[in-house]
Amino acid sequence: MSSEQLAAVTAITRAPAPRPAARASADQLDTTTAEQKAAAAKAPETGETKLGNTVASLGDPTEGGFWIKTPLVKARGVGRIRNPENGKSAKVDLIPLDGPASAGSQVSLPALQLIGVSLTDLPTIEVFKS
């Protein structure tokens, strides 16, 4: 293999090392406090409207807080997500996500952890608007 061919292959197969933040653990990326987690886990105090069910995946783990980006909402708001498998729920910011209502949603790392979902699972969760 010539040096030119080797350089061409190397340009495709090599990449720089990930930034240190990309190698952080879930605990290091979760910047929510114990008080925030306790408040987010509380049962709703007012009436809610169920918006529907959605398949949840982990959103950008470097975006802090409790949120869901979902096509089930057209405007920002406050709501709750619930894991029907174990009944755990989390108060979240509802953030619109382009796509059909049947498309999946992206959920923050702390919110997924609070409702007892593995970060690699794709569970179906319930979404409510406060």
Task: Give the pLDDT confidence of 85-112 residue by residue, as tens digits.
Answer: 999 999 999 999 998 888 899 999 999 9
| Residue 73 near residue 54 (C-beta atoms within 8 A) | no
pTM of this structure? 0.79
- Give the chain's radius of gyration (CA, Å): 19
Higher local confidence (pLDDT), 16 or 72: 72
* 37, two tokens: 């987690």
Task: Give the pLDDT confidence of 9-60 residue by residue, as tens digits.
Answer: 434 444 455 456 555 777 777 878 888 888 888 888 778 999 999 999 999 8
* 60, two tokens: 């950008």
Rounded-to-5 percentages of helix, strand, coil across the chain: 25, 30, 45
Calculate mean pLDDT across residues 72-82: 94
What pLDDT does residue 19 have? Answer: 55
Measure the CA–CA gap between 78 and 111, rounded to whole angstroms. Answer: 13
The answer on pLDDT for 72 being more than 80 is yes
| Residue 117 near residue 123 (C-beta atoms within 8 A) | yes
